Amino acid sequence: MLTLFTNAQVYSPGFLGRKDVLTGGHTILAVADHIVPPQGTAVHTVDCTDLWLVPGLIDSHIHITGGGGEGGPVSRMPELQLSMMLEAGVTTVIGCLGTDGITRTVESVLMKVKTLREQGVSAWMYTGAYQVPPPTITGDVMKDIILFEEIIGVGEVAISDHRSSVPSVAELARIAAQARVAGMIGGKTGIVNLHMGDAHDPFRPIHDVVKHSQLGYKQFLPTHCNRNHYIFEDAKEYGKKGYVDITTSSYPYYPDEEIKPSRALKLLLESSVPLQHITFTSDACGSLPGFDPVTGQLVKLEMGLPSSNLREVKDAVAVEGVPLEKALQPVTSNPADILKLQRKGHIREGFDADLLLLDKDFTIVKLMANGKMMIG
């Protein structure tokens, strides 16, 4: 059966105006002012009058098998459930390991990716974890990226953090170089997703790698760049050269420390950071720990949800005055383009039918993933 969305205000994420969108199988078949389906074909028509049709959201940093563990076994977070994605308007995720790359394995992330795909959504993953050398499936970062279609890069490797392995410049450069070459061979992004900690001058390890190697800033995707005021100030300059990922789920748990993501987007744009360099991710199912600055002891632990991305897109528009077509890019076209997720992140003919229908209050009316209606 074909599905025809009629009279929608379409954001691709760029604003296309009032359009009809026809889908069939997994694919967007046509985007036009008025579409007349082929005669004799079963068509399900969705009237989208006064509604926005946008790409299904991409959350490119989720601990899909659960994260945490900094407070002992009881602090382990649960794995991602499909319902968490759908309720958030998310149709594509990138899974990763975090602090615990010991009792949680890359193999388990791979199987969760396969599970999510069988459930109808799209999923990829990073090999590795906080630790250096990174845990892998084959024992080699390059082999993991080249041989497993689901693996697109390395992460989440921790730097500038008391939980990191404190990798040297040479170690970090080697991981990035291996990921880059593996990405070239395997047709992947080959990027290194970096956990940014609370240390001052947090981007220094990346600057040093770029200075002492042939690698560029866009070989890295640093996340948690809004975790405190001084890292965010550095991000305003760093983002002019490389990518900046803003974590959405940690707000409002740490309002005195974090820069609210919707506000961060506006401030980055005002600082002349290219919009195409900015992404939003939820860090969902990972722990959001708070540590005593004197003793280093864990004093607070929260868990975020994928729904934080849509919330911050809404606030970027409604509170910060960012145009919707710009507010959508950090959760649609930007991660798709940066991570080379083919056929994702845009409403275009030939792309995957990942479509999110919203009312003007950002309430989800319908959600389609890979051509299958998941909500509505």
Residue 66, both tokens = 């659960």
Would you say 119 and 155 are in contact if contact means Cβ atoms under 8 Å apart? no
Would you say 108 and 101 are in contact if contact means Cβ atoms under 8 Å apart? no
* Amino acid at position 360, single letter: K
What stretches of the chain adopt beta strand conformation (E)? 2-11, 15-24, 27-32, 43-47, 52-55, 57-62, 90-95, 122-127, 151-159, 191-196, 220-223, 244-247, 278-281, 287-291, 298-303, 355-358, 364-369, 372-375
Alpha helix positions (H), 204-329: 204-211, 229-238, 261-270, 307-318, 324-328
Residue 49, both tokens = 């009058």
Separation of alpha carbons 74 and 274, rounded Å? 41
Query: In a 3-state reduction of DSSP, which class is residue 247?
Result: strand
245 is catalytic: no
Separation of alpha carbons 325 and 285, rounded Å? 28
Which H or E run contains 111? helix 106-118
Rg, Å, the chain Cα set: 20
Residue 77, both tokens = 């977070």
Among 100, 144, 161, 283, which one carries the catalytic annotation?
Answer: 283
Helix-then-strand count for the chain, H and E: 10, 18
Separation of alpha carbons 365 and 376, rounded Å? 6
- Taking Cα atoms as reference points, which of 82, 87, 80, 84 lies closest to residue 64? 80
Contact partners, residue 209, CB within 8 Å, separation at least 6:
169, 172, 173, 176, 215, 220
* Cα→Cα distances 355→121, 263, 351, Å: 12, 26, 11
Residues designated as active site: 283
